[in-house]
Structures are given as structure tokens and as C-alpha cells.
Amino acid sequence: MGYQGGRDYLTAERELHPTGTPNFDAVCFHAEQCAEKLMKALLIHMGVTPPRSHDLAVLDSLLTPVCKDWSWPTDELRHLTRAAVDFRYPGESADWKEASEALEIATRMRTKLLQLFGISPGGTVL
């Protein structure tokens, strides 16, 4: 599977627990990107062309009808979407709690989405 979102996941993990100063905004952004890219990859795998949207709830609404084993709480999808967008603007900044929650949601989503592809999340990072 030609998916580069694994790099987003690794970046989010690294930035939450860096050896230097953490970048919590980057954790939020890359956590969302990991989930978004996997959702879009699964849509493509299911024969659906994903829209040019970063809204995970929109992607979920397209994925749910074509993948019977997919479902995700809308509040968590919205949380990740907001985390990726809100902290990209001046005056807004994520803290450890927001970043760790975004990564935790993305980790669970990544596990589920990889399983839907038949890929073990413990194997090669995709």
C-alpha cells in the first residue's frame, strides 16, 4: 500500500516525547494527517474517490456506507479535525493534554484502519 501517513504518525509520536522542546501543535496536526490519509486510502481501496476535504466527519460519512466494519465516534473525528486546524493560526497553541489526546485518538484509529486493510499495526509503520 503506497501510504506515507506513517511518517505523520511517527512525527506526532516523536514530538509528544522529544529530547528537546516539544511541538504540541505539530503533534495535533500530524495525528490528524495520519487518520485522514488512512481514511482516504481506505476509501480509494473501497472504490470511492475521496473529496479534497480535511474534515474527518465528512470522510467518515463516505466510508461508513462502503465499509461495514468501519465506525468511529463523531466527537473524536471532530476533535482531531479541530486539532489539525485550530492550532495552525496565530494566537492558538496546543498543550500537552490536547496533543496527547489527539495522538491517542489517532493511534486507535490507525490500529482500526490498518486492521481493515489486513495489516498489523505492530509491523512496518505505514
Q: What is the pLDDT of residue 123?
A: 54
Residue 126 has pLDDT above 50, yes or no: no
Query: Would you list the domain boundaries of the chain?
Result: 5-117
pLDDT at 125 (0 to 100): 46
Amino acid type, 3: Y
29-50 residue pLDDT tens: 999 999 999 999 999 999 999 9
Give me the pLDDT at residue 122, please.
64
Report the candidate in 53, 48, 92, 52 with the shortest Cα–Cα distance to residue 70: 48
100 pLDDT above the threshold of 90: yes
For the chain, the three-class secondary structure string (H helix, E strand, C coil) is: CCCCHHHHHHHHHHHHCCCCCCCHHHHHHHHHHHHHHHHHHHHHHCCCCCCCCCCHHHHHHHHHHHCCCCCCCHHHHHHHHHHHHHCCCCCCCCCHHHHHHHHHHHHHHHHHHHHHHCCCCCCCCC
CATH architecture of 5-117: Up-down Bundle (1.20)
